[in-house]
Structure 1
Amino acid sequence: MRDIDELRELRDFDTGAPPLDEETRRRARDRLLTAVHGTAPRVRPPRRPVLRIALTAGLAAAVTAGVLVAVRNDGGAGAGTRRTAKPPATSAPAMRDVSAQTVLRGAAAYAREHERTASPRDDQYIYTKEIIKETDQQTGVTKSYVDENWHSVDGSRRSWVMEIGKGWWSPPLKKGESSWPPRDWGTLRKLPTDPERLILSITNEYGGRKTSLDELSDQDWSSVHFSLAGLLKLVPVMPAGLRPAAYEALGMVPGVTAVPGQKDAKGRIGVAITYDDPTLPKGSVGFGGYFVFDPLTYEFLGFRDIRTSGDGAATKTYTQLSYLDSWAVVDRVKERP
């Protein structure tokens, strides 16, 4: 019933979304005709890999960016939170025709050329410092937070994680437990750095044995996007080649679109990548929000998300902008570079 109530709420939002393109209209029309004739197969909800995260003390144990939390019990943001898409800001004329594929291929090329790589030891920690700016959509008040995280490289030691200024100890996964996105360097290093193989490995992670992208359904692609967004948002430091592959894989997802004229946390105007998920109600946005890139170099600038807290009349909605300020490999938890 909870899912049904959420869908009803989404139905009532004024989306401000642009008209559907022909491909999206075709998918919707085909689905409607199938449903009318009573031949629609029963589709099980996908196993969302990003949500398979070990929890402790009621908090999501493996949060790196502090941008979105997989699960919280204190009214904070949830990875499953679905909000309506906001109309894009005023765009520069030169940016209107850029495609998501062009942006993400450019982002992959930029990452291959400029991104720092690391070869940490298993007994070390990945330190990250992230800046988050949140604006209350009702009052217009903006608050800034500095989140510092120390993640165990091999996952065998407890880590310190923060989200919008609050921190907690995250214990290592127990035997037999797993999570997506993976945190330990050994598992990350095994992920394919070929974009098509990366997509298929993600698909096979949550069920089925697909051998070609042509076999993927809308539901499969929705889960692939969910997983890629989780990997890119929650793992700010990756082995060489993985981030470019994830960008290129994201560009292969049908429904990924470019939205020009979006600001990042530093006030720079960039082009954002978001996802029109055909499995969600029209105008809604699933996990992943907006990835903002420089409009010329395609350097990644940061994230734009919506966070909610509270319930009912006490619900507050925030526009959240964030970016990775710095990172390093250190020998001890709480050690700064």
Structure 2
Amino acid sequence: MRDIDELRDLRDLAAFDAGAPPLDDETRRRGRARLLATITAPGADHATRTTVRPASLVRRRPVLRIALTGVVAAAVTAGVLVAVQRDDGGDGRGKTAKPPVASLPPMRNVSAQTVLKGAAAYAREHEKPVSPRDDQFVYTKEIIKETNQKTGRTKTYVDEIWRSVDGSQRSWIMEIGKGWWSPPLADNESVWPPQDWGSLRKLPTDPEQLILAVHGELFGSEASLDEITDEEWSVIHYSLAGLLKVVPVMPEGLRPAAYEALGMVPGVKAVPNQKDAKGRVGVAITYDDPSRPEEASGYDSYFIFDPVTYAFLGFRDERSSGDGKDIKRYTQLSYLDSWAIVDKVKQYPSAAS
């Protein structure tokens, strides 16, 4: 699986938080089961089935409009962070989220499974059904606070996106203040995670079935959870994380299922006492890849949740620009400020009919 090895090399350039708590017993058990399956199972020839266009490899890098042969390669490159727990008044217009906790005393240790199950329960309780028309657009407004790790200087960006609901119209995309027109997919192209509402609606809202659907889509074969290898779990993790990050508005039940499915991935872990863009203290979920070589660094993206309600607060990510002595490294804190369904690209919610 050369594509996975090459992309893992790219992913492992990210920094690893060595101060994170160890994996819990359930995650270790699943990891051992995956390892045993890898050792004992015959090799599988995962055939590629389509030409796929990836989403961004690293947070805040523009989406490249290139076709990759191989669904697995595209899945691993799908890591853009744009997800939040939303409130909706029932008219299709999003509202600013107001998670309750601003500060807390030191937190107790909690497992990733507990956090993500809590996040799923919170999402199910608060999500509002959304049924946009194919000819409409999903508008999102995201706030990003980016800090230069060397100088400490912080800049704030406002990214506004208008994405075609069915993908048939060009969309307006922004990344750290820079925008461009994204044309519709060609007939022989697809993308993971899917962006159009019709494809999203077809994804299972049962967490186990969602994992198996992702596996089938990326590897072209059927499998049970016990048959999934460490390498395949790694790709599934990035695919689920990409779904939660790239798609800010989902059909009813899909986001809770994605949270629970993410909690079933070996290597997902909780890190307490993480601050979001508004200074609120939360518990973060990140990933320690069981198939990663010991000398390699790890995943640098964090989902941050309220430690009491498990409402989603925002993301912490890292990016770099330049190379060699000119390289600059940044820490990003971001959250979804608002969203809405609108009739036209570049139309603001206040003008929506």
Alignment deviations for residues 75-133 of structure 1 (CA, whole Å, 9 cap, x no partner): xxx9589xxxxxxxxx944x332111111111011111112331100110000000000
Going from structure 1 to structure 2, the CA distance change for 1:202 and 1:331 (only over 3 Å counts) comes to: same
Q: Is the 8 A contact 1:71 1:79 kept in 2?
A: no
SS at match of 1:53: strand
Coordinate RMSD, CA, aligned? 3.8
Alignment deviations for residues 9-47 of structure 1 (CA, whole Å, 9 cap, x no partner): 96997863457558769969x97xx99xxx999899998
Choose which of 75, 88, 103 in structure 1 pairs with 2:115. Answer: 103
Residue 311 of structure 1 deviates from its aligned partner by 1.3
User: In structure 2, how many angstroms separate the alpha carbons of the residues matched to 1:241 and 1:8?
Assistant: 33
Residue 254 of structure 1 deviates from its aligned partner by 1.1
1:232 alignment counterpart: 244
Matched, 1:160 2:210: no
Q: Is the 8 A contact 1:263 1:270 kept in 2?
A: yes
Amino acid at match of 1:121: R
Matched, 1:179 2:191: yes
Q: Is the 8 A contact 2:12 2:298 kept in 1?
A: no
**Mapping 1:123-162, distance limit 5 Å:** 123-162=135-174
Amino acid at match of 2:184: P
TM-score by length of 1: 0.79
Amino acid at match of 1:53: R
TM-score by length of 2: 0.76
Amino acid at match of 2:169: R
Going from structure 1 to structure 2, the CA distance change for 1:80 and 1:110 (only over 3 Å counts) comes to: closer
SS at match of 1:178: strand
Choose which of 181, 192, 200 in structure 1 pairs with 2:212. Answer: 200
Choose which of 275, 279, 292 in structure 1 pairs with 2:304. Answer: 292
Percent of pairs with identical residues: 62
User: In structure 1, how many angstroms separate the alpha carbons of the residues matched to 2:174 and 2:129?
Assistant: 23
Going from structure 1 to structure 2, the CA distance change for 1:9 and 1:42 (only over 3 Å counts) comes to: same
Alignment deviations for residues 166-225 of structure 1 (CA, whole Å, 9 cap, x no partner): 000000000021000001100000100000000000001111423421111111111110
Residue 70 of structure 1 deviates from its aligned partner by 5.2
User: In structure 2, how many angstroms separate the alpha carbons of the residues matched to 1:313 and 1:5?
Assistant: 24
SS at match of 1:174: coil
Q: Is the 8 A contact 1:46 1:219 kept in 2?
A: no
1:320 alignment counterpart: 332
Alignment deviations for residues 133-172 of structure 1 (CA, whole Å, 9 cap, x no partner): 0000000000000000000011000000000000000000
Amino acid at match of 2:237: H
User: In structure 2, how many angstroms separate the alpha carbons of the residues matched to 1:302 and 1:208?
Assistant: 33
Q: Is the 8 A contact 1:24 1:278 kept in 2?
A: no
Q: Is the 8 A contact 2:171 2:182 kept in 1?
A: yes
Choose which of 234, 245, 265 in structure 2 pairs with 1:222. Answer: 234
Q: Is the 8 A contact 2:130 2:252 kept in 1?
A: yes
User: In structure 2, how many angstroms separate the alpha carbons of the residues matched to 1:260 and 1:20?
Assistant: 12
Q: What is the aligned residue count?
A: 308
Q: Which runs of 5+ in 1 are unaligned?
A: 55-59, 82-90
Choose which of 317, 322, 325 in structure 2 pairs with 1:305. Answer: 317
2:287 alignment counterpart: 275
User: In structure 2, how many angstroms separate the alpha carbons of the residues matched to 1:323 and 1:46?
Assistant: 38
- Between stretches 201-210 and 8-17, larger displacement belongs to 8-17
1:242 alignment counterpart: 254
Going from structure 1 to structure 2, the CA distance change for 1:240 and 1:252 (only over 3 Å counts) comes to: same
Q: Which runs of 5+ in 2 are unaligned?
A: 67-75, 80-103
